[in-house]
Structure 1
């Protein structure tokens, strides 16, 4: 691994380790678009079939790893279902999982978070995703690929997730720091009271690769997210971009970050809950 970030690998590292029997490469792409009607998500399976890292399988987070009938439209599935799906992808407890996506890595970090949430720490993110792989001159393949099925036994870590009730309590608790992961404009338009802002799109450079830890540290220090006296809880619109901020924080030594999985979708489902603006 050539990055100082402990959970990040570059294309050359993956190329050099692609034939290792313990490696499981997973394309985690979901396509997210916005228009006047709001946000729209679409499975990345078809773009995976058009081009993916050789041997990589596809995790359909949208249809197989998401609950759509809770207080928000995008929530982590139950442990048993998660184990069934990732075991079917060939991921067991002896697997080193390399996750990537086609867009901006927030879907890769979403799967990274779900794996660590269920107790699997041997998971890394391909820096820059498929674009970085192709930019390095490495080949892609089309169609579907798979690994032999494995047994995945979940060991859920409840401290890695925050409920709406916990976030409501956090708004009056100085020991919890709510970190909004959306753009600065979105933060100004509406946020959970007491939140600070670390936009996920400022974590990466123009090529979509994660900035160095030396560059990231001042961004998090400026909002108090590295203060050992507070416990960070990251959130966004639907619990996706929040995982990118949690990923960056882990690289800076914060292993205690929780994700508000419902995020603003859940918070705003009750009009009585307040928002700060400006």
Structure 2
């Protein structure tokens, strides 16, 4: 089985829907900011059951694939928990490959075109050592726009044996970030909007908003030259540099990390705790404009 691209098109996926080696996952999760500042979160299982790409199974990032006892909502779970949940839905077998999408834009109409819930799960799979995984460009929204088939039938894959070992270089802690602030060989990227970046950021970090990489109408990624420009302006494509991406809670950061990988930057790690953890530690410094 050849390794799949990091990001695949809707045409590519439709041709693969009957492939017995495909494991297609719907990773839909919802986050909405409320007036009191506390985000509202809910699982996308209900919208998955209403309609999804044929053959897809639901992967619950919120309830199954995060640490239920974590101090922050989307803290990575233990390897044992993650592997168990993946095996239950049929993911991890050698010789298979995974494609992940989410339904966010299609169902809540967010102006941001970014498959960051899908990229979060793809990042978790690679972190645990299963790297034959792709994210669907444009997600379910693009699939719907193109009039492709949708199903409400809930299917399942055979239970799997998860293979692969953790890749610790893909994640950093707050202690790692503190050290990186003073390290000229590390680029720290805040993946949130420009407004959020100005309101508070890790000192020394630069801003590459995760929502700036795709066209709102076509839902396709911008061309390679535009994507490169987005990251080159902060020096993040220098092969001699290490890049750390962060955001609010470790979700949007994985979208930037995925695109950096696509552009050839291999030395990328995600700060899983992100601003949720950083701002909870009152002794940690913040920069604002």
**Taking structure 2 as the reference length, what is the TM-score of the superposition?**
0.92
Q: Which residue of 2 aligns with 1:56?
A: 56
Q: Which residue of 1 aligns with 2:77?
A: 77
Q: Which residue of 2 aligns with 1:93?
A: 94
Q: Offset of 1:229 from its aligned partner?
A: 2.5
- Runs of 4+ aligned structure 1 residues displaced above 4 Å come to none
CA contact (8 A) 2:24 2:99 kept: yes
Q: Which residue of 1 aligns with 2:232?
A: 221
Q: Which sections of structure 2, spanning at least 5 residues, go unmatched?
A: 105-113
For 1:248-267, list aligned pairs within 5 A.
248-267=259-278
Alpha-carbon distance between aligned partners in 2 of 1:188 and 1:136, rounded to the nearest angstrom: 37
CA contact (8 A) 1:118 1:156 kept: yes
Alpha-carbon distance between aligned partners in 2 of 1:171 and 1:51, rounded to the nearest angstrom: 45
CA contact (8 A) 1:80 1:154 kept: no
Deviates more, 1:143-152 or 1:262-271: 143-152
How large is the Cα RMSD of the aligned pairs?
A: 1.3
CA contact (8 A) 2:22 2:97 kept: yes
Alpha-carbon distance between aligned partners in 1 of 2:257 and 2:94, rounded to the nearest angstrom: 23
Alpha-carbon distance between aligned partners in 2 of 1:100 and 1:134, rounded to the nearest angstrom: 12
1:198 to 202, 208, 213: 208
Tell me how many residue pairs correspond in the alignment: 274
Deviates more, 1:56-65 or 1:86-95: 86-95
CA contact (8 A) 1:170 1:176 kept: yes
Q: Which sections of structure 1, spanning at least 5 residues, go unmatched?
A: none
Alpha-carbon distance between aligned partners in 2 of 1:16 and 1:96, rounded to the nearest angstrom: 14
Q: Which residue of 2 aligns with 1:117?
A: 127
Counterpart of 1:76 in 2: which secondary structure?
A: coil
Q: Offset of 1:143 from its aligned partner?
A: 4.2
CA contact (8 A) 1:83 1:153 kept: no
Alpha-carbon distance between aligned partners in 2 of 1:69 and 1:177, rounded to the nearest angstrom: 31
For 1:172-211, list aligned pairs within 5 A.
172-207=182-217, 208-211=219-222
Q: Work out whether 1:132 is the aligned partner of 2:136.
A: no
